[in-house]
Structure 1
């Protein structure tokens, strides 16, 4: 840690020196400026709207928050002019005084034509996103980025009535799937042949088992980045990652309240407050609160969670801001998952959909997840800006878990009962500088920075008994389950020692440090029609091992080259070469330290906007070579534990198609398809068993998703909407590296109705409309005579209803 602190200090000193030098160049420039906000008639931010200074024939575009700035102005009177299709042209005179910043709020007024044809405020282009969040650091529009990046907005999540990251978010992204395991805690998302890491606000928060799935109330958007994205990762999977962007203050005073209810005793409330805390508008706030009681479709199991997420932002001046963000997520639950166990078959018809393998007498598990972010943003001038952020995560879970130790043909099941305590602490620091310059006719978009982190995890998973009995010593039976275990039957749970000591005794301790520096230059040629991205990242990673032999130090350079070309203003073709690596803690059965996972991604694609940018379509082909993946084998070592080894190489090839946006007036859609071919292509030199040619487990060859939302914009039914979607997965595979099994296809339908009038909205959604009770989300097949099937099926038909009010 001392080494990390020293490196941090040196890098930050260098960063501050560069920032001071760049800022000093602007001292002689005029300090007067106009800083403004453009909003539509209902107070919503008007993103990417043209704003002009009439006297100087000088213009700019608002950002995604409706904000704009004109700097380096001489004192005097200026006329601002804003034009947007469907709204009246607006002009406003502003007086700018010497060395002062004039603040202005421009609210557009709908034209007569717009008032007649308006569908419903906020209903247009709800599913299309043109830009990336600031946490991804790139200034380039999504259309021009040489990579497949898909964005799931809060609007989409609201239409689908998603309560958290586990609630079907992957249906909006081609090729993304979620393995249903420990749904009370973790999302566990896979893409392009491997599990992808979780980011939050640009930081890699992937933990040993986590992170905690974010509540929907705190999410502004989720960005799925396909491929390594070397400009973001210190160490990450070649398949990509997902980045959860949390809600921040907008400077607009507004709020929302949503009350939800549904099947299985589901009740939820969420509040969102946004506004200013000071009269001068420099201190802004955002506060999101949520509370939820949700029983599962399985008997007795539940998940009650709550969220507290305040954010404060201080605008030092028109160029500098400081933001402090805190998030607390808590949960109380009975069992980690909703598994079914059978000795006889997968999808055993004799076991009902509401089967629960736990017991209502279990002590509930409790999860507490804290995170704190501090952001610093500064604009040197119109072309250059700097960003820095630090974060601290503290996670703890006190729980017990139960699992099948054995299952008999007649359904008798021995239940193993264990401690399931976990804790984690993560510390991160990032600093970056980005800007735009020209050398002759060549435009340069430059990005450089440092990225540091320290991750620690402790776990106590000691088994307390392998046969938890019912009253009178009766065996639990999956075909005729009985509940209410007597208190005296539970083994004593000893937590007298701190978790760190207990984890050390069991060997469940990991610690990883990393420090990296990166630089990227996107060169634009021929008036920016041709763009060449050249980037590289150097990373030092240290994995602390239980012995000196297991302590791993990696020094890795990963290059990135991207090329994109705009055929016209709405069509882009691109190609990409990117590398990545993942440090791996632990050792194989011979106590040899694992090597880092390395990956190479090569992809090409096309992106096109249609009908004046109302919707966008993209198609991508890719090839990913992933080396040294750690897998479990179907054999045991002398201690009875699963043998682990590293594969030589896994080769994943695929095609991805995504369509998002307003397809027809009032009809918003998210449509996607992915073909994935993932197989083990090379054997490791020390391989115990032969695996070449085997399909990568937990993959689906074909994935198709569709979600449509249509709202009527005029007439007697003005404000009414219908929504619905399908999810289809075919040729799915589970198992291990040595044995792979196919499982049944997945097909689910959802449909609903909604009504929006003014500030009020009501929506009803029926999930699993066809009441398919055999929708597998996870499965394991027995590989020995003593083994058994275990799997998870989704809930039978159920509904959710939400009533909302905006103010």
Structure 2
């Protein structure tokens, strides 16, 4: 990492020194007041899943109560010797209890329970579940101590159960339907998610780290995903720098300590075949060494002729419990794919979604060699419980990505459909390193509670790309003209260029605009103050970031030192209702160069937001509504396509205002619901230096003014239909913009999906039909170029497949 300036280094060192001193003082306190005795354990459900949010109470010489974590664990420390009763109570289950005697030697006692169904209605400590879709607490990777209900931020969580019901195979596969205002761009959708929200493309996080790089990262396979968290607004203070519109955080599966295996086999339209396995358990008799292994293999064709994407995923995780306070976790993920084209693009001179272009139109050729992608990622986590009130966390990660392919793109298109295509090499490589540490704890000054969060975030991102142009002759040597209305395929082998890859891609990219280096280091701290019995919560935070984009000359070097403040307030009207207000700033360094070979400026944003959250019917389902205003400088948007390469450009300034409503949970027993709506008004308010035409007042590209999604799932629990389920949903998009214009320039989108399922004991089967009405839907489009050559100006767009189905069989042990 390039060295910091003397001033920035002094500032960052001072902040980190304060954190270190506080960390050591807390640790010393923990050593002096060591625990006398420990009672811990795990609560699991009847189907061997971790039971999160379950109330556990110990009573004896002292009384304490706690809620289980997301992996079902509870922990009581500093207990004096004596006899204790451990009680577990959950509405709808039989009460569980046991008695244990703690000795003077401070030995840890592990007491675990398995919930047993009951019709009894408990009147003691009651914690209810929101069914399959409602998640009460964010993952530990967001570093938040408060529940989602009490956090002054709009956070929506998509559970693995939701993804299973919707037959989601990877993060590209329709997850945005579960979050208000989220949508996909579709560009390079064989590999990358490209999700947009609140007027801009949002970065991808994994386990709390911003892993956004180039077009990537590689879209995560569903087999490795536990939950996906959509965090609205900047919120960069929590873990890593985030874009003004927010980010999504993929939480990968970790060991739970429960012996559990699951297998699934899927088949569907377009020659889709898939198998996955999930192994979870203990590798040592003492239960200290845990493991989780997820495997997946998939062959998937597309609705466009000849196109395919075959994928293999291997994701082992090992966790070692050093003692009752400390654990270390090692996680490795390997994703490999083989594919023919970089997307399902279509083209026309007439209009978007040209009806004369067949829905299975393929713009390249089956004779071309397939592309190959390899993605390796490694995480190491260290967690330490300092005392009852404080804990520390550290993690490092290494990503290594390589893609070797060729890509064909149209260069000219005539009115009669005759197309001239060019063939480029399309090699990429990336190498990213990250490190984070954080500490969090709770203290009191009088009656004021302090939930303190602080830490550091460091990153180094490198990318290399080789997109040299090959043969651009019309349809290659010896072939008749290719026509989009009457395509004929089968290029002779000797007409296809063979690219020289004898030199490493780092050297090939060195002299081009596709060799980028970005470094950053930051420190942050936040205090959530609780007043009035913690019903009123005030969050104050600040983040310092030093970032640099390393250029090849002093004109392309960018160095920034930025302070980003944050202030939020949340008030609990009652136990199930809270209102909040938030002011947040963000700063994100941007790697890469534009078509003019100049580096991108950092993205800066301000967010003001107000919202209300409410749980209904004892917490079975929850609703959240928010209004916001975001000003964003230097936002990236899709720019011109030159020789098959699509560049990004930066807008001067945009303003996005909107309203969002999300509802999810179990409405009545067995009926789970997801329903959301978003109104998004995102406009250009200041011209960019790179824009030659007037854009002020125009809508931001790739946005939808109205987005509505709904999903229902119902399973019978009694009678002859016991175990049968039905599910279905819809997606509606209106006021759609693919370029900066004043009026919508894409047709409305209304799609219906539906299916049936059956669950009996360890066995389950789920069938889903997408696009029930068999309509042709336009997913995304690109702006027309401004070339002086009229044959170089044409529409570029992607349509979704017509009616198609998937079926999955699962078996759990």
Please give the TM-score of this superposition, normalised by the length of structure 1: 0.95
Secondary structure of 2:149's counterpart equals: helix
Name the CA shift for 1:757/1:4 in 2 (closer, same or farther; >3 Å): farther
In structure 2, relative to structure 1, the CA distance for the partners of 1:80 and 1:294 (3 Å cut) is same
Per-residue deviation at 1:60? 1.8
Q: Distance in 2 between matches of 1:584 and 1:755?
A: 47
Which deviates the most, 498-507 or 285-294? Answer: 498-507
What is the match of residue 697 of structure 2?
693
| 1:105 matched to 2:112 | yes
* CA distance, structure 2, for counterparts of residue 324 and residue 651 of structure 1: 42
Residues 310-349 of structure 1 correspond to what in structure 2 (within 5 A)? Answer: 310-349=316-355
Q: Give per-residue Cα distances to partners, 1:741-800, cap 9 Å, x unaligned.
A: 611011111000000001110010001111012333334445553301111000110000
5 Å matches for 1:2-151? 3=3, 18-26=22-30, 27-55=32-60, 56-97=62-103, 98-111=105-118, 125-151=131-157
Q: Could you give the per-residue CA deviations for residues 208-259 of structure 1, whole angstroms, max 9, x where no partner exists?
A: 1100000000000000000000323643310000000000000111110010
Which SS does the other structure have where 1:743 is aligned?
Answer: coil
What TM-score comes out, normalization by structure 2 length?
0.94
Residue of structure 1 equivalent to 2:124: none
Counterpart selection for 2:586 from 580, 584, 598: 580
Is the CA contact (8 Å cut-off) linking 2:589 and 2:603 kept in structure 1?
A: yes
Matched residue count: 797
Instruction: Identify the residue that residue 778 of structure 1 maps to in structure 2.
Output: 781
11 and 217 in structure 1: CA distance in 2 versus 1, 3 angstrom threshold: farther
* Structure 2 unaligned spans of 5+: 122-127
For the Cα contact (< 8 Å) 2:756–2:766, is it kept in 1? yes
Distance 1:337 1:641 in 2: 13
State the Cα RMSD in Å.
Answer: 2.4
Q: Secondary structure at the match of 1:142?
A: coil
Change (3 A) 1:739 1:653: closer
Give how far 1:23 is off.
2.0
CA contact (8 A) 1:608 1:616 kept: yes
1:466 aligned to 2:475? no
Q: 1:504 to 1:59 in 2, by over 3 A?
A: same
Determine if the alignment matches structure 1 residue 361 to structure 2 residue 367.
yes
Q: 2:328·2:383 contact (CA, 8 Å) conserved in 1?
A: yes
Q: Where does 1:459-608 land on structure 2 (aligned, <5 Å)?
A: 459-467=465-473, 469=475, 472-585=478-591, 593-608=599-614
Q: Distance in 2 between matches of 1:195 and 1:635?
A: 18
Unmatched runs of 5 consecutive residues or more in structure 1: 115-121
Q: Deviations over 1:27-85 (max 9, x none)?
A: 33334211111223333322222222232332222122221111112233322121222
Matches of 2:576 and 2:223, distance apart in 1: 34
1:398-437 paired onto structure 2 within 5 Å: 398-437=404-443
Q: Partner of 2:423: helix, strand, or coil?
A: strand
Between 380-389 and 676-685, the greater mean CA deviation after superposition = 676-685
Q: Is the 8 A contact 2:467 2:645 kept in 1?
A: no
Alignment match, 2:675: 671
* Residue in 2 that maps onto 1:118: none
Q: Which moved more, 1:741-750 or 1:221-230?
A: 741-750
Cα distance, 1:725 vs. partner? 0.3
Q: Tell whether the 8 Å contact from 2:144 to 2:238 is kept in structure 1 after alignment.
A: no
The separation in 2 between residues aligned to 1:438 and 1:10, in whole angstroms, is: 25
Structure 2 CA distance for partners of 1:632 and 1:102, relative to 1, 3 Å: closer
Task: State the distance in 2 between where 1:293 and 1:86 align.
Answer: 42
1:723 pairs with 2:727: yes
How far apart, in 2, do the equivalents of 1:278 and 1:635 lie?
56
Shift in Å, 1:318:
1.1
Q: How do 1:379-398 residues align onto structure 2 when only pairs under 5 Å count? A: 379-398=385-404
- Cα distance in 2, alignment partners of residues 67 and 705 from structure 1: 34
Q: Does 2:714 match 1:710?
A: yes
List per-residue Cα deviations over 1:652-692 (Å, max 9, x = no partner).
Answer: 10000000000111110110000000111123478633221
CA contact (8 A) 1:395 1:423 kept: yes
- DSSP-derived class of the 2:610 partner: strand
What does residue 261 of structure 1 align with?
267
Mapped to 2, the partners of 1:29 and 1:189 lie a distance apart of: 48
Residue in structure 2 matched with residue 117 of structure 1 by the alignment: none
Equivalent-residue separation in structure 2 for 1:123 and 1:685 (angstroms): 53
Match of 1:651 in 2: 655
Q: Is the 8 A contact 1:207 1:455 kept in 2?
A: yes
Query: Contact 1:405–1:467 at 8 Å: present in 2 too?
Result: no
**How far is 1:591 from its partner?**
6.6
Partner of 2:383: 377
